Amino acid sequence: MRQDIERILIDRETIARRITELGREIVDQLGTIEDDGLILVPIMTGSITFVADLMRELPIRMRIGLVTASSYPGTSTTSQGVDLQGMHLPESLDGRHILIIDDILDSGRTIQRVRSEIEARSPSSIQSCVLLRKKIPSAMETPCEYVGFDIDNEFVVGYGLDFDDYYRNLPDIGVLREEIIRSALADDAS
């Protein structure tokens, strides 16, 4: 797998340090929430590694709800729109504080869609946290309270991010070699 990576964009040590910082920021903001008032809502599957590490940095009593969504099916390298495949949340969100967690913010459609679905259930507050935000207008204009890293508009994999369901297990975030993408697209076309 490593030979498919053009370069490491963010190494695992830098990711770990930033997640510790994000945890502190979130605790500073949300640490006074009453017991059972915080619900983490990771967007699966890309955020699985991020949310596992981030929640260990949050010494707050919390619950977890899951949302499964896809916007990069198969070998897509650009968002194909949001396919919301399932939401597993507590029945009542009244009086709860929601923290949506996602791996990457680019088009903004996934977070906006999940946020609107949750808003319909009348929580006290909704905030978002992403590991990566692309420096493109659609991402920069989407409300997001906690951002790990702002990155250029490159296709990245690793640390939960995938290409055709591969590379999620890389501990670093890297830029996938262009010829790997072209080869996969050619295979799909035949």
Task: Tell me whether residue 106 is one of the annotated catalytic residues.
Answer: yes
The closest alpha carbon to 102, from 48, 55, 60, 156, belongs to 48
CA 61 – CA 88 distance, rounded (Å) = 19
Contacts of 95 (CB under 8 A, 6+ apart): 37, 123, 124
CA 59 – CA 65 distance, rounded (Å) = 18
CA 160 – CA 97 distance, rounded (Å) = 25
Contacts of 182 (CB under 8 A, 6+ apart): none
Torsion angle in degrees (nearest 10) through CA of 35, 29, 12, 183: 90
Catalytic residue from among 53, 102, 106, 172: 106
- Catalytic annotation, residues: 106
